[in-house]
Each structure stands twice: as C-alpha cells, then as structure tokens.
Amino acid sequence: MSNISVLNNVDHADLKIAVSGGVTEQVNRCQIYASEINELQKEYPILIYRGDEEAALQLHAILGLSKDENLFIGDNGWTTRYVPALLARGPFSIGYSKNDNGEPVDPKICIDMDDERVNSATGEAVFMPMGGESEYLQYVKKALQTIESGAQYNHTLFTLIEEMELLEPVSIQLKLSNVEQVNLNNYYTINQQKLSSLAGDQLSKLSQYGMLGPLYFILSSMGNFQRLIELKNANSAML
C-alpha cells in the first residue's frame, strides 16, 4: 500500500531519503525516455522492448543479467554518473487536481510516506533548515520533469521508427562462463543499414524532431553489454 502526501516544507521539514540502493532499485531493467538517451547511452545498453505484437514499444536500459540484479549499485549506492529518471525520482511522483471538466490541473510533487527509503534520521535531506529546497530535491524535480515529458518524446520516437521501418529484432545471447549463459527476449534495436540508407527528407524529419541522435545513441549503447559482462563476472568472483 502507498501513503501519498503532497510534499511541503512544513509537514516534511525534517524528511530524509535513503538513496543507497533500496529494494525498489534492485531491478535488471528500467523503462527510460528518449529525452535522456544522450546521458544513458554513456553507461547502459539500451534496447527497445515489446512484450507481444499488440503491446506498445518501450525503451529499456539494461541494468543486470539476472532477475532483481542491478550491477550498477555498489555498497555506497549508484556507481554511474547518470541514473534513469524513473529510479532517480525515488519515492516522489507528480500528482494533479482535476478541474470541473475532469482534466488534470495544478501539478504538485507528492511523496509516498510508506516507502522504505523515507525517514527522519539518515539520508539526503529534502529541505534546507530554513525551508528552501535541497540539492537533492532539485535533482528529483529534474527526474520528474523528464518523466512528465517523456511519454510524448517516446511516442514521437516510436512513430518515426515504425513509419520508416527501422525496427530490427535482436537476439541477445551472452556467455558469462562455461556454464552460464544469458538470453534476452522480445527485444529490438535499430536497423543500422536502413538508418544509413534513409532519404534526405527522412533524415531531415528525424533531425527536425530531435530523434536522429537518439537512434544512433541506441546503436552505440550496445557496446555497454561488455561492461555488464565484466561487472557480472567481477561480482561472481567475489561470491
């Protein structure tokens, strides 16, 4: 169960958030947004996911090679320079009131007070002693803004990908040792040959919508699987 409260610097003046890799961050993949690919591709493999033929496409950052495994979290929290927005937001979300027509209005930052990371003793302070926003809260707000605008970015990206038939099924088979192998199913990437062969007007359209760079970043991010393998093998050697 959740206990959602609108965040304010009176009721939540002493609030702290533990940010050292809680259970909610122990996941092997995370949905991401096209607007953050520029940063994500420096750290993680990025793939396009579709559970079945009727399902909507999703962008995923791959964080681990086993269930509930995040190879980018160490003893002191995240080891990467950038954390996917959906995980960076922590226990926070955006809530809306509704006007007389039932339309969402007046967005406010909310917090789940029952989240395991919420406390008043240890972690990152949400507010400064005089009530101002902490650097951590400003960081969270940026993540929430990425999420709020992300759905439209992704819709545009996927519309262009399918319009130009750039989607390509990809079979990910990673051999970690003589006995352990990992297979990732239902994933796609960008067909590099088709992307390179697009006509000038198509390339111009991708550039106009700011999606040409993200497509190449998705392709280049595949090299990060080698880092995942190295992290996985290093963790296994410590057991």
Phi, psi dihedrals of residue 77, rounded to the nearest 5°: 105, -155
Going 40 to 41 to 43 to 49, the CA torsion angle's sign is positive
Which tokens sit at 90?
């922590």
Mean pLDDT over each residue of the chain, to the nearest integer:
91
Res. 39: pLDDT tops 80: yes
Phi, psi dihedrals of residue 175, rounded to the nearest 5°: -95, 110
What confidence tier does 143 reach under pLDDT thresholds 50, 70, 90? Answer: very high
Higher pLDDT residue, 102 or 109? 109
pLDDT tens-digit readout, 175-228 = 776 556 777 888 999 999 999 999 999 999 999 999 999 999 999 999 999 999
Length of the chain: 239
For range 77-83, the mean pLDDT = 92
For range 168-173, the mean pLDDT = 87
Which secondary-structure segment (H or E) carries 88? helix 85-88
18-22, 29-33, 142-146, 226-230: range with lowest mean pLDDT: 18-22
pLDDT of residue 128: 96
pLDDT of residue 19: 84
Which tokens sit at 190?
């960008």
Q: How far apart are alpha carbons 63 and 95 in whole angstroms? A: 28
13-27, 50-64, 104-118, 155-169: range with lowest mean pLDDT: 13-27
- Asked if 62 and 47 count as a contact pair (C-beta separation under 8 A), the reply is yes
What confidence tier does 169 reach under pLDDT thresholds 50, 70, 90? Answer: very high
Q: How large a percentage of the chain has pLDDT more than 70? A: 95
Q: How far apart are alpha carbons 121 and 91 in whole angstroms? A: 16
Where b means 16+ CB within 10 Å and e means fewer, 31-62 reads: bbbbbbbebbbebbbbbbbbeeeeeebebbbb
Higher pLDDT residue, 231 or 238? 231
